[in-house]
């Protein structure tokens, strides 16, 4: 009986790894803006080795909603949502990891309009 050859094993591993991106998960999010300011929104892929990559970006007006995605990301890289009120440019955005698949998030602040941005998940509504 012959032993497996390292080159043949490496070729099989490479073939299997190259097939993975074809079945990579997708992410999408509907943002409902319940703040009194326009929101700047980004979907960002955190990569294991390289710098983060912006997959999609846009804006949502007060009282409005917008769909971002679907975007694809390899299994090892997660996708996060970054939200910033337009008048707060220069400050770090509020971040949230997205679940794979479809997400529906309501973005708001406390009742008096101050305080941090809050996300309320509305999946299934």
**pLDDT tier at 110, thresholds 50, 70, 90:** confident
Two structure tokens written together for 80: 């996060």
pLDDT of residue 7: 63
Contact assessment for residue 109 and residue 33, using Cβ atoms and an 8 Å cutoff:
no
Q: What is the pLDDT of residues 37-48, one digit of tens each?
A: 999 999 999 887
Do 107 and 33 contact (CB within 8 A), yes or no? yes
Q: Would the pLDDT of 56 be above 50?
A: yes
Evaluate whether 69 touches 44 at the Cβ level (below 8 Å): no
**3-state SS assignment for residue 48:** coil
| Residue 121 three-state SS | strand
User: What are residue 47's phi and psi, to 5 degrees?
Assistant: -95, 145
Distance of CA 95 to the CA centre of its chain: 10
* Residue-wise pLDDT tens digits, 67-84: 999 999 998 889 999 999
Cα separation, 125 vs 115, whole angstroms: 26
Average confidence (pLDDT) over 92-110: 94
- List of domains in the chain: 24-121 (2.60.40.180)
Q: Which pLDDT score, from 0 to 100, does residue 79 have? A: 95
């Amino acid at each position: 009986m012959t032993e497996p050859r390292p080159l043949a094993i490496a070729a099989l591993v490479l073939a299997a790894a190259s097939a993975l991106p074809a079945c990579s998960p997708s992410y999408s999010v509907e943002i409902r803006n319940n703040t009194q300011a326009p929101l700047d929104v980004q979907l960002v892929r955190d990569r294991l080795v390289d710098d983060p990559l912006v997959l999609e970006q846009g804006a949502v007006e007060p009282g409005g909603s917008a769909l971002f995605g679907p975007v694809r990301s390899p299994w090892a890289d997660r996708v996060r949502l970054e939200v910033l009120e337009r008048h707060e440019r220069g400050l770090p955005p509020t971040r949230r990891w997205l679940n794979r698949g479809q997400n529906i998030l309501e973005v708001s602040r406390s009742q008096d309009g101050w305080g941090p941005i809050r996300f309320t998940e509305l999946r299934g509504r």
